[in-house]
Amino acid sequence: MDFKHESVLLNETIEALNIKENGIYVDCTVGGAGHSIEILKRMGPNGRLVAIDQDEDALIAATDRLKEYKDQVYFIKCNYAYLGKILDSLSIDKVDGVLMDIGVSSYQLDEGERGFSYHKDSELDMRMDKEQDLTARYIVNNYTQEELESIFWNYGEEKWGMRIAEFILKEREEKEIVTTFDLVEIIKKAIPKKVRMEGKHPAKKVFQALRIEVNKELDVLETGINSAVDRLKEGGRLAVITFHSLEDRIVKNIFKELAKGCTCPPEFPVCVCNKVEKVKVINRKPIVPSEEELEKNNRSRSAKLRVCEKL
């Protein structure tokens, strides 16, 4: 297995985490371990890394790449939404930094059989955790038209979602929709030719929406951020890399809320809400890839990095 994944915003992320020599760090989506290995290089022999991924292939690749640091790394197959329970199981109370690199990896896109790519024909799958039950194939063949429309709009901002959902229902009355190319052909039929010729692949937004629904990515992101902040030491940092506007908006809003103190009306003589600032937002505007990185890795073009620090 060749798990190729170009780590996005690598230098910016490592700098933002402010690595301590004897710290404890968590990579919530270790993938090909590009970020993790740089974290470990900056730590001493007493530093520790918790490497989490729900994709077994990613963990196998990460274990191999980080083998010289094996005594410093805990490899955990799990969804990072359970970060608190993971740390409890390792008897770790607080950590110095957490990294979340959200979304699908280059390996998952390039490995056709995983069903993430609209460029390769395979069974509609899209599961990051291959042991879970819900797949993209089940969704397109069993969700109601209204549910499909909602997913395509809320998770893909696909303005042709209503028509695409309608075409999917008509197609599945005749036969089951099994492969990625089956779905691509339906999408192409649903979207007018003039619109299809305007630039981006016509299936891009629908595939994104299905992937998010299959893996419950937005729900996991919100839970994960709050769990990470709860387990950070004072001065510890959380760095989150996102790849589309929905994710970035969630991160921005949660950081903003966590950085907000008392919300009592100004006329109240004393605070009764008991709300205190939990974090300081390090970068008000997201950090984006440099021109040099964009030239080397086209897939980094939509990446955004936001960082907060525990108070």
User: Which pLDDT tens digit goes with each residue over 14-69?
Assistant: 999 999 999 999 999 999 899 999 999 999 999 999 999 999 999 999 999 999 99
Same domain, 139 and 280: no
Take residue 86 and report the two structure tokens written for it. Answer: 């993971």
CB distance 54 to 28 below 8 Å = no
Take residue 234 and report the two structure tokens written for it. Answer: 């004072």
CB distance 105 to 79 below 8 Å = no
pLDDT for position 74: 98
Residue 203 clears pLDDT 70, i.e. is over it: yes
Of 110-124, 149-163, 249-263, which range is least confident? 110-124
Same domain, 301 and 158: no
In a domain, 4, yes or no: no
Annotated binding site for S-adenosyl-L-methionine: 33-35, 53, 80, 101, 108
pLDDT for position 94: 98
Domain that holds residue 150: 113-215
In a domain, 5, yes or no: no
Using alpha carbons, list the distances in angstroms from residue 191 to 163, 165, 176, 196, 206: 8, 11, 21, 6, 12
In a domain, 240, yes or no: yes
In a domain, 2, yes or no: no
Same domain, 139 and 172: yes
User: Which pLDDT tens digit goes with each residue over 101-139?
Assistant: 997 766 666 666 788 889 999 999 999 999 999 999 999
Residue 197 clears pLDDT 60, i.e. is over it: yes
Boundary-marking domain end, from 165, 194, 215: 215
Q: 102: closest CA among 266, 241, 205?
A: 241
In a domain, 260, yes or no: yes
Same domain, 174 and 295: no
User: Which pLDDT tens digit goes with each residue over 206-218?
Assistant: 999 999 999 999 9
pLDDT for position 111: 67
Mean pLDDT, the chain, whole residue set: 92
Cα distance between residue 57 and residue 41, in whole Å: 23
Boundary-marking domain end, from 166, 188, 215: 215
Helix-, strand-, coil-residue percentages of the chain, each rounded to 5: 50, 15, 40
Same domain, 146 and 98: no
**Mean pLDDT along residues 222-236:** 97
- φ, ψ (nearest 5 deg) of residue 156: -125, -10
Please, which residues bridge with residue 77 across strands? 53
Same domain, 30 and 159: no
- The enclosing domain of 258 has a CATH number of 3.40.50.150
Residue 160 clears pLDDT 70, i.e. is over it: yes
Question: How far is Cα of residue 228 from the mean position of the Cα atoms in its chain?
Answer: 14
User: Which pLDDT tens digit goes with each residue over 39-54?
Assistant: 999 999 999 999 999 9
Residue 2 clears pLDDT 60, i.e. is over it: no
Same domain, 252 and 264: yes
- φ, ψ (nearest 5 deg) of residue 25: -125, 155
In a domain, 178, yes or no: yes
Residue 185 clears pLDDT 90, i.e. is over it: yes
Question: Based on the structure, what is the number of domains in the chain?
Answer: 2
Same domain, 286 and 222: yes
pLDDT for position 88: 98
Annotated binding site: 33-35, 53, 80, 101, 108
- The enclosing domain of 121 has a CATH number of 1.10.150.170
pLDDT for position 106: 64
* pTM tops 0.75, yes or no: yes
Same domain, 140 and 172: yes
Boundary-marking domain end, from 198, 215, 232: 215
pLDDT for position 71: 96
pLDDT for position 5: 55
Same domain, 229 and 103: yes
Same domain, 209 and 283: no
Radius of gyration of the chain (CA): 21
